[in-house]
């Protein structure tokens, strides 16, 4: 997922720590669900509490947020349209989404990059600063 406010596989506790540190009503982030594989959690800070809403991807690729009983269920074609909808007031959340809490730069820099075996052993084009430490 390309959104900067998507924190991936962080724990509920880490999520609460991040949002509490920001401490602004309407701040939010999205993380992977710990208890339901494939589901996402939209976590929203409001009045010193963290509210968590589960987001499911349907078999047709559309997105749906888990709502309380009696609340109309909306289906969204894209994840972005779901987020944009809940930025509007009175959509069924405790508060509308106002302030995305982005991943820290360190997290972005340490994401795994996959390369083929051939790419891993190619001679890098980095100039004279490169020292070949592997035997020929």
Residue 41 within any structural domain of the chain: yes
Q: Which structural domain range is residue 73 located in?
A: 6-100
pTM: 0.74
Tens digits of per-residue pLDDT, 70-114?
A: 677 889 999 999 999 999 998 889 999 999 999 876 544 334 334
CB 64 within 8 A of CB 75: yes
Residue 106 within any structural domain of the chain: no
Residue 128's pLDDT band, with cuts at 50, 70 and 90, is very low
d(CA 49, CA 67): 18
Residue 65 within any structural domain of the chain: yes
Residue 119 within any structural domain of the chain: no
The total of structural domains in the chain comes to 1
- 51-65 mean pLDDT: 94
Q: What is the CATH number of the domain that holds 53?
A: 3.30.505.10
Residue 36 pLDDT exceeds 50:
yes
CA count, 13 A, side-chain hemisphere, 59: 0
């Amino acid at each position: 997922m390309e959104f900067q406010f998507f924190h991936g596989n962080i724990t509920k506790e880490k999520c609460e720590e991040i949002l509490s540190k920001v401490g602004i009503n309407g701040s939010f982030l999205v993380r992977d669900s710990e208890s339901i594989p494939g589901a996402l959690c939209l976590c929203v800070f409001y009045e010193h509490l963290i509210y968590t809403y589960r987001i499911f991807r349907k078999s047709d690729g559309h997105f749906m947020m888990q709502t309380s009983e009696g609340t109309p269920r909306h289906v969204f074609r894209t994840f972005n349209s779901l987020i944009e909808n809940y930025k509007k007031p009175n959509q069924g959340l405790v508060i509308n989404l106002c302030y995305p809490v982005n991943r820290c730069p360190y997290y972005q820099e340490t994401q795994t990059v996959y390369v083929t075996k051939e790419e891993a052993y190619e001679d890098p084009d980095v100039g004279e600063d490169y020292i070949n430490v592997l035997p020929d």
